[in-house]
Structure 1
């Protein structure tokens, strides 16, 4: 291990958040200003990073899917097996990463939303599902109307159902499922994590983050607005990539 000292100062990257958690100043009897030591805290919002990771895995899923469809046309079972696995593995990672992005977004938004302690206690005592907590925080923070709130809740429920299948895989055997595009009944994982589902999950996840963060509502708190203003420039490139390749977000 090197005994050299680190370079002076703190190295920051564009987009990092810096705060000073505590600073006290006073004037002593001699009229001199006395201040406590200054300690920096640094934070990184991971929402955009995980959305980018999920998108890269989605592209890998798409590539594997196209090769799978070609193998289907060729009736080459060896290639079908190879690309069925590749599609599923990449799709699983895309779905999982999209779920983590939503978790990261929720954690950041929650810092700026006043949720009653009684509600938080109920969530803890009843082990309230993650998607319900996220939908409530976004509803309150962005002042969503009932119709939008219900749609958000339904989408989150679906997305986290798929995410949980990736993060908490069931051991042993289970009933097979139909891989619709391949038109073959196979292991449920190949059917569940295929490109069609990965694309839907990622697109909806990106849409939730993008459309709430750009929402214009005078009732949204200043802290949340400031957070979104910093996030939007990091999300827009992903929205443009999606639009060029797959069309408008839902």
Structure 2
């Protein structure tokens, strides 16, 4: 009888131990934030400040909005999706992958950038024989690529420069083409050239807003069966908080201040 009671006691202790470990693991579980490449540096600053204020750790997965959307549809365990547009989050919402409707957090700015000392970034230079390669995010997967196409069409030079275009899968890969000087010039997000790593490198010009549709960028909480959504909600709220908006503005985005 004593042996049986002893075994029951050991089993009970083991059960308590397992519950404690599971509880700690859940408590320390990191948030996984899928972020469009143009928001990489901005989100890094946000997650650092968010961690210092809440103790909640975050890890980021950076890619094009289109590719991240495909990964979410295939079951990638992301908690939050920070897109470079509204199209992809809305697509996920309509197909039941999100907890709530997407919400616009900022409007992006398109720039033309070069790291070549002998080249001035200007739209008129794009048709020059001196320019052999023009970097652009791929319009199929990256919203900033769509904006680039709109700019080139607006100024009636798309057909003239189409053969020079070198497409990056995302803003991040496009930046690599520009910083490695594989492309003499390239279109990218203003937030990139304001980041700590790339600030004051090269020369850029802002593209006139009238030449492309507003790059409305939205975010959404992803459905994760069985996961506690409170952490996701805290970060989502931080993104739209006064402090979050200050970080966005610092990185070159336009935000809606009257919310």
State the TM-score, normalized to the length of structure 2.
0.30
Q: Which has the higher contact order (CA 8 A, sep 6+)?
A: 2
Give me the TM-score of the superposition, normalised by structure 1.
0.31
Structure showing the higher helix proportion among its residues = 1
Looking at secondary structure, tell me which structure has more strand per residue. 2
